[in-house]
Structure 1
Amino acid sequence: MRINKLIALLIVLFAMQGANAQAKKYKIHTVAFYNLENLFDTINNPNNDEEWLPNGSQNWTGEKYKRKLQNMARVIAEIGTNDQQKESPTFLGVCEVENRGVLEDLVKEPLLIDKQYGVVHFDSPDKRGIDVGLLYKKKNFTLTSYTNVPLYIYKDQEKKSKKEEKEEITDDAIAEDLSSKRVYTRDQLLVTGFLDGEEINIIVNHWPSRSGGEKKSSPFREAAGALNRKIMDSLVKINPNAKIITMGDLNDGSYNKSVKVEIGAKLKKSELQSAGDIYNPFEQMAKEGHASLFYRDSGDIFDQIMVSERFINSDSSTYKYWKAGIYNKPFMIQTTGQYKGYPLRHSATEEGFSDHFPVYVYLIKEVK
């Protein structure tokens, strides 16, 4: 008889726990990154935009620019949306944008204008005239500070090799100043503010390309990783409980030295011990064969979002990392020809999107 009563009590307790678990409510924010691939306007600006003018090699017209904005807006409005998350990203890091003006045009697109995105952007010294930027929802995020951190790298940092490396074909060629030997590339963008009253730090990156070959150019990306680590260490020194998100097109995989050694990114959450430690959910995704871009019939994840230890080991009353994904819906994918399965790019004959798929993570917090 006592056993039956004990069983009945346990059933009641488990039912109560289940009811409590079901009653829990969470607030979700999507943090995303998207390489917009050559988002240029048609105005002749004082940068290297000649090919992206109506009389340039790309035959870039106002009509094409408008379609490009529409396509980008369509994707951005949907990144990370599903049955649990109906909202477009609260934060969107971007790269390959010509200037602030193209981002202002983008957030005014009909699919995005009601989202009320703010824009953070700096012109960088990149020789192609492309920059990084951050879009954020003003209703959720209060901006307190932002700065661009220059990356100083020099041509003589390249690796020397007796065996000539196969040249990688890329429109993101590395250009140097012949007198100083400095390689001019994108700055790293640091943005700080309050997400629903909670301080968040975001770093947006677009690291040097593999122009000239992966191994030869790897010191440039390793220097970018070291700079990223320096920024994060500075943030933690100011605030030991700093919450940091670093994101971008790194032109390297999660396994490369720039990410694994220079940043020190961890594969497993259990490896995070101190506030400056960084978790990279895209390393496991890469191991499982997922890809955000393709090159020579091989996929990889160069687009990554990493979060600091405080997003993992804090309690659920503050924002925590939940899960990550790559947004690659069928309408964004090439369905025929040599590049079937690749991202559907915008070209002279195809109204596409980008050569990269966007990536995202969810931040989640329990609400009472």
Structure 2
Amino acid sequence: MRYFLALILLWATLFGDKTLTIATYNVENLFDLQEKGYKYKEYKPNTKSNWNQRTYKIKLQNIAKVIKDIDADIIALEEIHSLEALKDLRFTLKQNGLYYQYFKIADKKNTAIHVAFLSKVPFTYAKELAVTSTYKYRNILESKFKIDGNDLYIFVNHWKAKSGPESMRIVSAKALRKRISEIGYDKNIILLGDFNSHYEENIRFKKDRRLNDTNGKTGINHVLRTIKQKQKAKDVVYEEDNFYNLWYDTDADNRYSYIFKGEKEALDNILVSQPLLDKKGISYINDSITNLNKKYLFKKKQVYRWQVSRSRIPKHKGKGYSDHLPVIAKFRFN
């Protein structure tokens, strides 16, 4: 019997399904200490704001701790200031025993913060998708991976915050949709990142005149067409050219990555194309979507964000992590 079980385990190891962990994490303003480049005033290095070698190192170590607990194969990152900051984070992770050989940042546009990714898996290409030529919109990072012979496209997003109306997020959604139509809806595609949109934004924002300048239409629900599939992944009925928001595949109480004034929100999302639900090639593993809700990431029922004082001159306290929680999903390939 033992010999038989050993053979089964060996077969599963050599020929069975393999898993791929994919995550997204808004790390909240990871700025480097270089003088060059546009920065928010509280992140000007070596000033009275206390953003210096000590606090920068603490920030890097804290974010690295979170990423190590996730241990994703590919992790999308939002609010990375520069390639220098991304490399410093990668080096800190390596010091802590987690090595990402491959990386990319979308830094062609001179905005204060950018999207990026770290990967254990080599990519075929990675390039920036320009939303517009203005600085109001951050570029989207498009990449293609080859996973065991299967093509996988990943788009890292950071849409306009809710300081702006929904029409601004729709601009990003349309640019993304146009590019996807060129690739083909029949491909394995993952859209993830900080969309600054709830998975049911179309319901939440409807009565907010400040946000709803689009007659009830939203980027995440209407442009990306996530509005039809609201059931668990195992019960999803194929909808051509639609994306499925993985938040529907966990209990409603767990669908959040952000807490604002005590209210849970799902600003960070992972959306998948229909082929990733068909259990062929690469496919989403049912019930695997989750946030990382470790105790150390909370303080007094709030997400334990990076601490900056509210004094006349804001000062970094050298404590905390980010105002967002990471979001994680697992995929199977065979």
How much has 1:113 moved relative to structure 2? 5.4
Point out the more displaced range, 33-42 or 191-200: 191-200
1:203 is aligned to: 155
TM-score of the superposed pair, with normalisation by structure 2 = 0.80
Question: How far apart in 2 are the matches of 1:134 and 1:39?
Answer: 14
Q: Does 1:37 align with 2:28?
A: yes
Point out the more displaced range, 105-114 or 250-259: 105-114
Residue type of the alignment partner of 1:320: S
How much has 1:291 moved relative to structure 2? 1.7
8 Å contact 1:126–1:185 — kept in the other structure?
no
Residue type of the alignment partner of 1:225: A
Partner-residue secondary structure (3-state), 1:148: strand
From 209, 234, 242, the equivalent of 2:182 is: 234
Partner-residue secondary structure (3-state), 1:253: coil
Q: What is the 5 A alignment of 1:170-185?
A: 182=134, 184-185=136-137
1:254 is aligned to: 199
Q: What is the 5 A alignment of 1:227-306?
A: 227-236=175-184, 241-256=186-201, 257-265=218-226, 266-268=229-231, 269=233, 270-274=236-240, 276-283=241-248, 285=250, 287-288=252-253, 290-306=255-271
Partner-residue secondary structure (3-state), 1:89: coil
1:166 is aligned to: none
Partner-residue secondary structure (3-state), 2:170: helix
How much has 1:345 moved relative to structure 2? 1.4
Partner-residue secondary structure (3-state), 1:186: coil
8 Å contact 1:126–1:186 — kept in the other structure?
no
1:98 is aligned to: 81
8 Å contact 1:343–1:354 — kept in the other structure?
yes
2:272 is aligned to: 307
Return closer, same or farther for 1:298/1:286 CA change in 2, 3 Å cut-off.
Answer: farther
**Superimposed CA distance per residue, residues 155-207 of structure 1 (whole angstroms, 9 cap, x where no aligned partner):** xxxxxxxxxxxxxxxxxxxxxxxxxxx55221011001212332110000000
Question: How far apart in 1 are the matches of 2:96 and 2:177?
Answer: 33
Q: Does 1:354 align with 2:322?
A: yes
How much has 1:53 moved relative to structure 2? 2.4
How much has 1:290 moved relative to structure 2? 3.1
8 Å contact 1:149–1:187 — kept in the other structure?
yes
Percent same amino acid among aligned pairs? 25
Question: How far apart in 2 are the matches of 1:295 and 1:66?
Answer: 27
How much has 1:117 moved relative to structure 2? 3.1
How much has 1:349 moved relative to structure 2? 3.1
Larger radius of gyration: 1
How much has 1:49 moved relative to structure 2? 4.5
How much has 1:280 moved relative to structure 2? 0.6
TM-score of the superposed pair, with normalisation by structure 1 = 0.73
Question: How far apart in 2 are the matches of 1:135 and 1:325?
Answer: 19
Question: How far apart in 1 are the matches of 2:114 and 2:37?
Answer: 14
8 Å contact 1:32–1:89 — kept in the other structure?
yes
Tell me which stretches of 4 or more aligned residues in structure 1 moved more than 6 Å: none
How much has 1:314 moved relative to structure 2? 3.9
Question: How far apart in 2 are the matches of 1:344 and 1:200?
Answer: 33
8 Å contact 2:148–2:333 — kept in the other structure?
no
Question: How far apart in 1 are the matches of 2:108 and 2:268?
Answer: 20
Q: Does 1:146 align with 2:98?
A: no
Partner-residue secondary structure (3-state), 2:109: coil
- Tell me how many residue pairs correspond in the alignment: 294
Question: How far apart in 2 are the matches of 1:20 and 1:223?
Answer: 51
Partner-residue secondary structure (3-state), 1:48: coil
8 Å contact 1:194–1:200 — kept in the other structure?
yes
Q: Does 1:327 align with 2:292?
A: yes
Partner-residue secondary structure (3-state), 1:247: strand
Question: How far apart in 1 are the matches of 2:107 and 2:251?
Answer: 32
Question: How far apart in 2 are the matches of 1:241 and 1:38?
Answer: 36
Partner-residue secondary structure (3-state), 1:74: helix
Return 5+ residue gaps in structure 1 as ranges. 1-18, 80-87, 154-181, 335-339
Partner-residue secondary structure (3-state), 1:201: strand
Q: Does 1:73 align with 2:64?
A: yes
Return 5+ residue gaps in structure 2 as ranges. 1-6, 202-217, 308-315
Q: Does 1:345 align with 2:305?
A: yes
